[in-house]
Structure 1
Amino acid sequence: MKIRILGNTIRFRLKQPEVDQFKKDGKVTEVIAFGARLEDQLCFSLALSSEPDLAISFQANTTTVHVPQALAEKWTSTDLVGFNGRLDTGKGQEVEVLVEKDFACLDAPEADNEGTYPNPKAAC
């Protein structure tokens, strides 16, 4: 999973195996280990939610995007590339969340594109 953060915007890009794992298990996580202890890890998760709306939380060094069941089903089972939302933090600010399927880069080595979705721009 690729994660890009800019200000109060977070973007998740998932390769096909990660989308498949999310569909099967209801969760996919990326971990950055700054050390050996759990406290030294920063985690980013996409998790299935029974709630009706997209949400985000941060607890125990983990940022989790909670995806409603209907949206998760549509995203993992159709050509829908991604989804987004502006989520109220409850503190007078918003976090913008974007979750997308990761397309192959047209100018990247083949090894870097392993597991990506075919890029629609590749068919000229």
Structure 2
Amino acid sequence: MKIRIKGNSLRYRLTKKDVEVFSANGYIEETVDFGNQTLIYALQRNNLANLLAVFENNKITLLMPDTMATEWELTDRVGFEGLYNELFLLIEKDFKCLDNVAEDQSDNYPNPLLKTHIN
């Protein structure tokens, strides 16, 4: 799972394995070790109606409603977005990049733009 923070927006991108773990457990997290502190970012299912985010004790938890999570897991839907207070939230499946990149992308979803990019 990747996190991107820019301005007042928060985006999570999940690989196929990440979505599989999230589907099975209703929860997934990653950590960033800064030596004397750790940042944790997590995605958690809940029974609320909208996306929301909480930041407590060096942990960002993005909460995803059950209805969204079920649709996301069972369909080709790429993701969901929402606004929580003034914070823009986005959760999406991670596609393979169209350009060559150094990171391993073997677990990413096929990029739907690949066909149009080749032609």
TM-score higher than 0.5: yes
Contact 2:51-2:89 at 8 Å conserved across structures: no
Q: TM-score, normalised by structure 1?
A: 0.87
The aligned counterpart of 1:48 is: 45
- Alpha-carbon offset, residue 106 of structure 1: 1.9
Asked if 1:73 is matched to 2:70, the reply is: yes
Could you say what the CA RMSD is over the residues aligned between the two structures, in angstroms? Answer: 1.5
Counterpart of 2:18 in structure 1: which amino acid?
E
Secondary structure of the structure 2 residue equivalent to 1:24: helix
The aligned counterpart of 1:59 is: 56
- Alpha-carbon offset, residue 13 of structure 1: 0.7
Name the CA distance, whole Å, in 2 between partners of 1:11 and 1:75: 16
- Alpha-carbon offset, residue 30 of structure 1: 1.4
Aligned length: 116
Classify 1:8/1:78 alpha carbon distance in 2 versus 1 (closer, same or farther; 3 Å).
Answer: same
Secondary structure of the structure 1 residue equivalent to 2:77: coil
- Alpha-carbon offset, residue 52 of structure 1: 2.2
Which structure 1 residue ranges, 4+ long, deviate > 3 Å from structure 2? none
Structure 2: runs of 5 or more not aligned: none
Structure 1: runs of 5 or more not aligned: 89-93
Q: Percent identity?
A: 39
- Alpha-carbon offset, residue 69 of structure 1: 0.5
Counterpart of 1:8 in structure 2: which amino acid?
N
The aligned counterpart of 2:31 is: 31
Counterpart of 1:113 in structure 2: which amino acid?
Q
Q: TM-score, normalised by structure 2?
A: 0.90
